[in-house]
Structure 1
Amino acid sequence: MRVLMLGGTWFLGRRIAERLAARGDQLLLVHRGSDRSAPGVPGVHLHTDRHDLARHTPQIKDFAPQAVVDTHALTGADVDAVLPLLPHVPTVVLSSQDVYEAFTGLQTGRCLAPVPIGEDSEVRRERHPHRGKGFPGVPDDYEKLDVEERWLARGAVVLRLPLIYGPHDWQRREEPILRRIRAGRDRIPVGAANLLWTKGYVDDLATGALSALDHRSADGLAVNLGETATVTMGAWFEQILGAAGSRARLERVADDRIPPDLALSGAPAQHLVVSVARAQTLLGWAPGDPAEHVAESVRWHLAHPPEDAWTDEDTAADDAALAG
Structure 2
Amino acid sequence: MPERILLTGGTGFFGRRIAEALKARGHTVVTPGRPDFDMMDPASTLRTLEQVKPETVVHSAAHYGGLGICVAEPIPIFHRNVLMGVNLFDAASKVGVKKILAVGSACAYPGQVAGDMKESDFWSGPLHPSVEAYGFTKKVLEVALRAYSRGQGIIGQMPIVTNLYGENDVFGEYRSHVAAALIKKFADAVQSNAKQVVCWGTGAPVREFIYSADAAEAVARLLESGYTEPLNVGTGIGTTIKELSEIVARLTHFQGEIVWDTTKPDGVLRKVLDVSKMESVLNWKPPTSLEAGLAKTIKWYLANKAEADARQ
Give the TM-score range, shorter chain. Answer: 0.7 to 0.9
> Following the alignment from structure 2 to structure 1, what is the Cα–Cα distance between the partners of residues 268 and 128?
21
Structure 1 residue 81: Cα displacement: 1.4
- Hey, what does 1:98 align to over in structure 2? 107
CA contact 2:208–2:238 (8 Å) conserved in 1: yes
- Hey, what does 1:277 align to over in structure 2? 276
Structure-to-structure mapping, 1:1-324, within 5 angstroms: 1-32=3-34, 47-52=36-41, 54=43, 60-61=49-50, 63-72=52-61, 75-86=81-92, 87-102=96-111, 112-123=112-123, 124-125=125-126, 143-153=137-147, 154=149, 155-170=155-170, 171=176, 172-173=180-181, 174-190=183-199, 192-216=202-226, 218-219=227-228, 221-251=229-259, 253=260, 255-256=262-263, 263=264, 270-288=269-287, 289-306=289-306
Secondary structure of the 1:81 match is: helix
Give per-residue Cα distances to partners, 1:184-240, cap 9 Å, x unaligned.
Answer: 223334564121011121111111110111111x21x11111223122111111111
> Following the alignment from structure 2 to structure 1, what is the Cα–Cα distance between the partners of residues 248 and 276?
27
Higher helix share: 2
Gaps of 5+ in 2: 63-79, 150-154, 171-175
Secondary structure of the 2:185 match is: helix
AA matched with 1:236: L
> Following the alignment from structure 2 to structure 1, what is the Cα–Cα distance between the partners of residues 209 and 81?
23
AA matched with 1:92: L
Give per-residue Cα distances to partners, 1:241-268, cap 9 Å, x unaligned.
Answer: 22223333435x5623xxxxxx47x5x6
AA matched with 1:270: L
AA matched with 1:48: F
Cα distance change, pair 198–131 in 1 and its aligned pair in 2 (3 A): closer
Secondary structure of the 1:75 match is: helix
> Following the alignment from structure 2 to structure 1, what is the Cα–Cα distance between the partners of residues 84 and 308?
32
CA contact 1:244–1:298 (8 Å) conserved in 2: yes
CA contact 2:165–2:209 (8 Å) conserved in 1: yes
Give per-residue Cα distances to partners, 1:133-166, cap 9 Å, x unaligned.
Answer: xxxxx7xx97221122102333311111222111
CA contact 2:208–2:273 (8 Å) conserved in 1: yes
AA matched with 2:262: D
CA RMSD of aligned residues (A): 3.0
Secondary structure of the 1:210 match is: helix
- Give me the identity figure in percent: 19
Cα distance change, pair 280–194 in 1 and its aligned pair in 2 (3 A): same
Gaps of 5+ in 1: 34-46, 103-111, 133-137, 257-262, 310-324
Give per-residue Cα distances to partners, 1:56-110, cap 9 Å, x unaligned.
Answer: 75764564323210112553332221223323423221121111122xxxxxxxx
Name which of structure 1's ranges 3-12 and 75-84 shifts more when overlaid on structure 2: 75-84
State how many pairs are aligned: 269
TM-score by length of 1: 0.72
Cα distance change, pair 142–120 in 1 and its aligned pair in 2 (3 A): closer
